[in-house]
Chain A
Amino acid sequence: MKPFKLAIASGKGGTGKTTISVNIAYFLNSDHTKSIKLLDCDVEEPNDALFFPEAELVSTKEVTQLIPRIDTDACTFCRKCAEWCEFNAIVVIPPVKFAEVNASLCHSCGACLVACEFDAIKEYPEPIGTISYLNTGIGAGLAEGRLKIGSAMQTLMIKELKKDVSDEHQIVIYDAPPGTSCPVVETVSDADFVILVTEPTPFGLHDLKLTVTLLQDIGKQFGVIVNKSGLGNSDVFNYLDNENIELLGEIPFDREYARRYADGSILKDIPTDIENRYRTIVDKIALRMKAYEGNNNS
């Protein structure tokens, strides 16, 4: 059976996606299932691994992107490839017999290969980043995608990362990048449930609304966790009430807890109050997972 796929996302950065992701993995593992895999889909700045200081690196895999190269001996400089290129990645200057692909603009869509009538374009793999597999001691561990600085191929990297989602896992957690752009859409696209993490501040609420609109547009089920509660104001709670959005739980702001986050030790000596709150949240997730399994067995 296919695993239950849970994405943790947020509009605003720094609301606590990673904190929530690693804690949910930790408490699902201790209370519900050991068959759990965590994927760090924030491939531009992955940081889940920081919270597993004793994790061991099991293996790594290089991810490549196919970049076309133009053979200027075969090229007639007709410019068709450059016209077809949606990303302006191809420069063709007929009078000086110049034709080149700019790798940093190329999205590997392959249109230029189809456009070329003279067989002058071939693709070659170029590395865009690495996937690392870590044994974290929690379920089936962590897979982390790490894109090379400057690469615009976030979605390709996330797709590669998701190839490791297999039927042997009961639940897979996607720690999404912040925002509402392509990498976020790619991350949540196949999720069975999305948790939106927000904070009770005007910025948190503003960006939460954007993400809610996105998820409604693509038809995803979701609930909200308000992190750092006690800060800011009650606007976010009023919004959730008015919109009938499920509040899955609140994690109170605590200076000592924030200090431990900075230290990378949020999974050690978790305060009882916070532990209870996460346990209540993972119970709700486990119910959704069971319902998913029931629906997909029949």
Chain B
Amino acid sequence: MKTIISSSGNKLNSEFDLRFGRAAWFCLFDDETGKSIFFQNEHSEAQGGAGTKASEFVIEMEATKVISGDFGPKAKELLEKFKIQMVILDNAKTTIGEIVEKLAGK
């Protein structure tokens, strides 16, 4: 199962980003292979529609779960349409590595 996590950087010790559409990076974690890959968010500085574009990316990556601080109405609508589980985490101090460890059940 693949999960997308909003991230402020491209390393496992990068801090989690509470923003979804405006996050600088996305971490794709696959719990079957245990691998995490980072993708730069091309739309983090977009004037509008950043949440929609981020949702499009999640769906395209075939993730079934997405972890972020919150989701805007347009992002929510699209993610719901494709039955992607939205997980809200409000801890900005945590790192991507710590989240991945929890997902891997370590």
**A residues adjacent to B (C-beta < 8 A):** 87-89, 91-96, 98, 102, 104-105
Binding site for A on B (CB under 8 A): 43, 46-50, 52-53, 55-56, 59-60, 62, 74, 78, 82
Q: Which of B46, B47, B56, B74 has the most CB of A within 10 A?
A: B56
Closest chain B CB from A102 CB (angstroms): 6
**How many Å lie between the Cα of A104 and that of B72 in the bound state?**
14
- Shortest 5 CB-CB contacts between residues of A and residues of B: A88-B49, A105-B49, A93-B59, A91-B56, A93-B60
In the assembled complex, the Cα of A89 lies from the Cα of B62 at a distance in Å of 21
- CB pair B43–A88 under 8 Å, yes or no, is yes
A96-B82, A102-B74, A104-B74 known; A88+B52 contact, CB < 8 A: yes
A105–B60 touching, CB < 8 Å? no
Residues of B within 8 A of A98 (CB): 59, 82
Which chain B residue has the least Cβ–Cβ distance from A88? B49
User: Does the CB pair B56–A105 fall under 8 Å?
Assistant: no
- B59 near A105 with CB under 8 A, answer no
Q: How far is the CB of A286 from chain B (nearest CB, A)?
A: 43
For A89, the chain B residues whose CB sits under 8 A away are 49, 52
Contacting pair A88 B50 (CB below 8 A): yes
Further contacts, 7 of them, CB under 8 A, given A91-B52, A102-B52: A87-B47, A87-B49, A88-B47, A92-B56, A93-B59, A93-B60, A95-B59
CB A295 to nearest CB in B, in angstroms, measures: 40
Q: How far is the CB of A155 from chain B (nearest CB, A)?
A: 15
